[in-house]
Structure 1
Amino acid sequence: MPDFDNTNRSYQHQFIRQNSAMLKSIYGTTEVEPYWIADMDFQVAEPVTAELQRLVDRGRYAYEMVGDEVFSAPTSWFQRRHQLGLNPQRFIMAPGVLSAMSLIVRELTNEGDKVLTQIPVYHQFRKLINSANRTLVTNPLINDERNDGKNGYRMDFADLEQKFTDGVKVMILCNPHNPVGRVWQENELQQVLELADKYDVTIISDEIHADILLHNNRFTSLVSLLQKQQKPSKHIALLGSPAKTFGMQGIATGFIYIEDQALHQRFNSLLESMYLNHGNALSSYATIAAYTHGDAWLDQMLAYLENSLSWITEFIEKELPGVVLSQPEGTYQIWLNFEQSGFSAEQIKQALVAAGMGLSPGGWFQSDNDFYFRMNIAAPLAPMQQGFQQLKQQLSAKAID
């Protein structure tokens, strides 16, 4: 049984989330629990560790041909977990999801072309668009904050269509959505697809969080909609990686899945020409082990996340009534709104740091509201409980002041 409560940090590391310079630059101190970056503070699945140990024990790191299993393993995984039938011949290996996305954007557009994202959204999307000298266009999500325990975020299709009519070339879709936690339903994705086809917009679908599903929510890949169309498609329907699912950010590669044969060949040739379409032996064999033997670990990890989320939800409702938690349907991020707390945005920021909670400011995700913060809950529960209790104390003290 994995020990997700393990808080031991005596091992040697240089993890970004605990980097002193990073913490000081963001929070002015190193005395915070690092809930600001989207990776796990859990030990990886034992089959992954065992496979890496097998490779290390050989003591040899010669050129190695891993074979087709590196794609057949995720093919079987998607069938088991999501009832999604994929063709292992339609995968392309890439260094990572962001590098793959950057290459695709640059290949499909010219400088100055418009690329759309739905905000608030993962901040690296903005960086890769701007660094390619493309024009960032945003389609803000609508937040109907609800009191029934459900996530109130939805797409603004009227605004999306208007943006498409203004010459958008590419849309980056985030499903499940980081940071708001929506797992887009089939009817929502169908509307996006119909609009994209109508206005000749290519969709790049980032589905790296596909396996992090909470409370019986089901994931629908854009691939499944394209398969129903049974016609050539210009969309890049799946960018993924074992990184988020298994906590392998430091060793994982990414993959591109393209259903259309001609489009697949185009991008496979592109990555092959740059010698980017292969991983090293460690990452490749770890990927195979994770997707082949990682089901039980993932199920236990998701159950742990759900328990942590239940505790956090109950605590906020009882002890922090001015804080709104958008219940995530997927991902291990929670999106918190302190607007009704009665405190200024600066006071909230100060209280979080004083409580030892290092959260990501909403402004990183192009939220126009400084009261929003993202928190990564893929971490041991006890320190999170302590942090929320200390946050209550800090806010109570500020209320007295």
Structure 2
Amino acid sequence: MNFNKVIDRRGTYSTQWDYIEDRFGEGTKDLTPFSISDMDLQSPKEIIKSLEKVLFHGIFGYSRWNHSEYKGAIKNWYLKRYKTIIEEEWIVYSPAVIYSISILLEELLKDGEKILTHTPRYDGFTKILNNYNVVDIELIEVFKGEYRTNFKKIEDEFKNGVKVFLLCNPENPVGKVWSREELSKLVELCKEYNVYLISDDIHMDIARKDVTPIVKLREEKTVIASSASKSFNTPALGGSYVIIPDKDLREKFLYLVKEKHALGSPMIMGMLSTMAAYNECEYWLDDLNKHLTDNCEYVVKELDGYKGLKAYVPNGTYLMWIDFKETKINPKEFQRRLIEVGKVAIMSGETYGDPYKIRLNVGCSLEKVKIAVNGIKVALDC
């Protein structure tokens, strides 16, 4: 796969390319975007072939996900990629990861009960947490790109009545991959204080450190919400899955999805793409990870230390979390310069909880990454 092939996405109803003004304001439609977390890279040929088969069949009726072909593909992926055993009966289809988490919280949290999660955090988390009693724990950077949590504060908050812990592994936006040792410590605390653990693992395949699926360490009161869509660039096809070992919670989740929300039938393209990705495309993912790491390393080489910038290769994801605090430039002024002078649309860290950072998407060709690097330098030089 030639990951440096430049493909024009304009005119395809692309959120990242065709609707830049929604995020960056009127008059910004001609900027080069590095914002929403999808990639400017074609999906594997095996996925495209699987979609062509159903496309040319020409009948797009209701479908079923509850079969061994779909659930077996997911089960086998966890076994071969992560040496983690999951049971097919644990797997439940869902339209989207954030939807899944929202439904789980609706079931697990009563009025006023606490949920704990980290900051900086993915803005999708913030949106679904608006109606809950949220306790924040800040991830502290102890070295370039290495973040640590505060386990003492976690335990203190568990003692104070936290009912659910919401994890992201790898973390968006900082890119932290949680080590097995850290997860084991978190699991022990959750067990001791009877806390439900939900982990959003949608970025799990894009990682430069070993990822441990949390159900490998604990089955009771533990859930993984994930999808192949981030890794294989298929979010527009729809679909995700939830791994719920707890039978009672799994049945409640199914009831809410199918009976209350009437979402029993899967999006066929999303289901087929997941099966093709997990069954046939591991080689492609390995090549992708190398390309993305090369892109990250290029950004670090060009920008780390440039007029006070701090850049690092993240443990996971294709999202780089770049610190410009030492440039002494006001965050709003820096965004203005990026847009008006650098001509690049890069997400402000304010969206995720830190205005002195920017989140740069390098899921693209190296040629496009060079446009981002040049735009950032020009914004600093003016």
In the alignment, structure 1 residue 375 sits paired with structure 2 residue 360: yes
After superposition, where does 1:1-400 map in structure 2 within 5 Å? 2-9=1-8, 12-20=11-19, 22-23=21-22, 25-26=24-25, 29-65=28-64, 67-130=67-130, 133-146=131-144, 151-214=145-208, 217-226=209-218, 233-236=220-223, 238-274=224-260, 275-317=262-304, 320-353=306-339, 354-367=341-354, 370-397=355-382
CA deviations 1:333-378 (Å, max 9, x no partner) are: 11010011243323322232221221111111122xx211111110
Paired position in structure 2 for 1:230 = none
Native 8 Å contact 1:23 1:30 kept in 2: no
Structure 1 letter corresponding to 2:337: A
Native 8 Å contact 1:27 1:358 kept in 2: no
Aligned length in residues? 379
Native 8 Å contact 1:78 1:86 kept in 2: yes
CA deviations 1:60-107 (Å, max 9, x no partner) are: 123344532111001111111111111112101111111110000000
1:120 offset after TM fit, Å? Answer: 0.3
1:235 offset after TM fit, Å? Answer: 2.1
Native 8 Å contact 1:95 1:277 kept in 2: no
Percent of aligned positions with the same letter in both sequences?
A: 27
Structure 2 letter corresponding to 1:219: V
Q: Secondary structure at the match of 1:172?
A: strand
Structure 2 letter corresponding to 1:381: L
Native 8 Å contact 2:32 2:345 kept in 1: yes
Segments of 5+ residues of structure 1 without an aligned counterpart are 228-232
Distance 1:126 1:303 in 2: 31
CA deviations 1:295-314 (Å, max 9, x no partner) are: 12111111110111111111
1:326 offset after TM fit, Å? Answer: 3.8
Q: Secondary structure at the match of 1:118?
A: strand
Distance 1:96 1:116 in 2: 22
Native 8 Å contact 2:20 2:33 kept in 1: no
Distance 1:5 1:84 in 2: 33
Distance 1:160 1:277 in 2: 37
1:385 offset after TM fit, Å? Answer: 0.8
1:112 offset after TM fit, Å? Answer: 2.2
Segments of 5+ residues of structure 2 without an aligned counterpart are none
1:11 offset after TM fit, Å? Answer: 6.5
Native 8 Å contact 2:64 2:265 kept in 1: no
Structure 1 letter corresponding to 2:2: D
Distance 2:64 2:92 in 1: 15
Structure 1 letter corresponding to 2:291: Y
Distance 1:109 1:165 in 2: 16
1:199 offset after TM fit, Å? Answer: 2.1
1:59 offset after TM fit, Å? Answer: 1.4
Q: Secondary structure at the match of 2:237?
A: coil
Q: Secondary structure at the match of 1:117?
A: strand
TM-score for both structures, normalised by structure 1: 0.89
Q: Which runs of 4+ in 1 moved over 6 A?
A: none
Native 8 Å contact 1:143 1:152 kept in 2: yes
Q: Secondary structure at the match of 2:218?
A: helix
1:162 offset after TM fit, Å? Answer: 2.2
